[in-house]
Each structure stands twice: as C-alpha cells, then as structure tokens.
Amino acid sequence: MTLSYSSRKPHFARLQWGGLAAGLTPVLMLPSLQRTGSHVVNTNCSAVHTRQALCCKMSVEYDKFIESGRKYVDVYLGRPSLDHPIEATERVQGGGTVTTVKFWFATGGAGFCLSRGLALKMSPWASLGSFMSTAERVRLPDDCTVGYIVEGLLGARLLHSSLFHSHLESLQRLPPDTLLQQVTLSYGGPENPHNVVNVAGGFSLQQDPTRFKSVHCLLYPDTDWCPVQKQSDLVSR
C-alpha cells in the first residue's frame, strides 16, 4: 500500500502512474480540494508547511494505513538525512519529569516504509489523533516523530537504505544508470530548481523541470505520451 500527498491542486489527475496503481494508492488531500472518489481522502489539515500541519497529515496517513488491513513483518525502512541519531526532550504533561532520548528517523521527504505490524504497535502514540499529541510532547516534525515512536518508545530500529532520495541531497550526483534501482526520487522545487536527477529523453528541462515525466518514460516507455525512443537512450551517459 502506498499513500501519497496532494495539495490545493488536483495533482492526482496528473500523476503519470496513477492509472497503474488503481486501488493501491490513496491520495491524502487538503480541505480546499473538492474531488471525491476511492483514491481520495480529505485530511482536513492545513496546506502550510508547519510542524503542526505536517503532523496532522502524518496522523491521517497512519490511520488510513492501519485501516487498509495489510499485514507484514515489523519493518521501518528509509534514509536518514543526518549521519547521527537526533536527541529529543520528552515533556510530561503537567510540568513533570523531562527526559532526553536519542533515535534515528527516516526522512519524510524521501518516503519510508513502515510495516502494518509495527504500525499497530505504534497505535497508542499514533492512532486516532494521538500522533499529534505525541509530536507536541517532543516538539518535533512528523518524520522525526515517527522515528521517536519506533526507536525511542518501541525499541525497534530503522533499517538504513540509500535507495530513498529527497530534495535534501544533491540529486545530480545520482548515477543515471542506477535510476531504475532506486526506491524513490525527488526534485528541488522552486527554491532549488536545478536539483533534479540526470535523465535524458524527449523532454527538455522547460517541458519537464522535475524530470518526473522523463523518469516515467524510462520506467514505462510504451506510455502513449512518451516520445518514441529506445529505453536505453533515455538514460544520460
């Protein structure tokens, strides 16, 4: 099961892989969106990029994952942005004891894998809105809070993987001939538009500034809107 965020615009209709993942990819949408359907969940969360808004969306994402009923062994898999664990201060309600805890967390912007078995164990601190209060207790963003629950509270461990990629790294350094081996890719966005993966093809940077269309055609060259080109020619050498 994959969960994907959308924002104020109906991006799901533009997702190149949306039709290939029917029934598998719920899209969490913000309250300003009106579209309804089996793929769409209105989060009622703010669209801003604040700690509270991010944790609100992660809380809904967690609940929807649990509702899916899919079962796996305990897994927390992703890529840290730091080369060391972070340290958080736990605040007990009512001004009680303050303690510190160290843990690893997987960068949310790169995506991460969380098995349902482990997610169920997280439920006292994550389900039905309790994720928000847990995040407030340590005053951390959403991805850090997941790491806090998994490692700091449950004693499980993050499995580090270099196959997840976020906008926080230099994506141009990713060898083009390894793109098909990666789990996730990203792009820099308006603040760093040149931070994109190096993949060639029939789309210019102006036509495909994120390189997502080009990556899609590398994966699915028979898509009707992909330029007619050999798959081997799509990767820059």
Q: What is the mean pLDDT of residues 8-28?
A: 53
Q: What is the mean pLDDT of residues 173-192?
A: 94
| Domain 71-160 architecture | Alpha-Beta Complex (3.90)
All CATH 3.90.550.50 domain ranges in the chain, comma separated: 71-160
Q: Which is nearest to 10 in space by CA: 38, 28, 35?
A: 35
pLDDT score of 130:
96
Q: What is the pLDDT of residues 43-76, one digit of tens each?
A: 889 988 899 999 999 998 888 888 877 666 689 9
Give percent helix, percent strand, percent coil of the chain, each to the nearest 5: 35, 10, 55
Q: What is the pTM of this model?
A: 0.71
* pLDDT for residue 90 is more than 90: no
pLDDT score of 43:
85
| Alpha-carbon gap, residue 115 to 65, rounded angstroms | 9
The single residue listed with the structure tokens 């966005």 is 189
pLDDT tier at 35 (50, 70, 90 boundaries)?
very low
What amino acid positions are annotated as catalytic residues?
143
| Alpha-carbon gap, residue 210 to 86, rounded angstroms | 31
